Amino acid sequence: MGVWGELDASWKRELAPELESDYFKELAAFVEAEYAKGVCYPPGRFIFEAFNRTPFNRVKAVIIGQDPYHGPNQAHGLAFSVLAPTPPPPSLLNIYKELEEEYDCSIDHSSGDLSFWADQGVLLLNSTLTVAEHMPGSHQKHGWERFTDAVVSALNARRENIVFMLWGAPAQKKGAKIDKSRHRVLAAPHPSPLSAYRGFFGCGHFRAANAYLEAHGIPAINWLRP
């Protein structure tokens, strides 16, 4: 798999059946071909960034996105996150607004890098891990959805007391089989400008996530910038 960087060892173990399957080999060949013929995102070294930043046994919370951003200097393998100096996209700005409301604070809107969440155990998982430039959805239905379903399934079955934050119908569908007796599921509309006012604003998910974690003896997540 020449275009992408290495996958964290803990995830390699947990996802070995997927990585060794025929469908994943076909997916890998498709991704290789797409990156060879044109610009795709994220850069290859970042395809598995969410997993490398957040090893399997360190996952405290999961936030599920959809496609990676499909413009230059945006996607770096973490759902909703962009590296500096790219300004936060609209959905991320709405996430900041909800955080500001929940914590009665101000957040620096100039940075969209959520790596510090990932480093604390927040798996920022896109349903599809790659995309062709300026072609949203172009790498859907080639195997990524099956792979990321397996990620959610592994966490659901082999971990306990994870908070799954499911924003929008696609994320909620992906998390439909999560065992709510073992984990906490928080559902709300997507934070995009088209839907944030339908219930994302005021959802209280960030405080609710920390309350659940602390109730189970797990250190809270610092959602605000360090």
Residues in the chain: 226
Spatial neighbors of 35 by CB under 8 A, at least 6 apart, are 3, 44, 130
| Pairing state between β 61-65 and 131-132 | unpaired
Tokens of 98: 């909800």
Distance CA 180, CA 159 (A): 12
Residue among 8, 22, 67, 119 flagged as catalytic: 67
Buried b (16+ CB within 10 A) or exposed e, 166-200: bbbeebbebbeebeeeebbbbbbbbbeeebbeeeb
Q: How far is CA 91 from the centre of its chain?
A: 13
The CA dihedral of 8, 10, 15, 20, to the nearest 10 degrees, is: 70
Whether 149 is catalytic is no
Which residues are identified as catalytic? 67
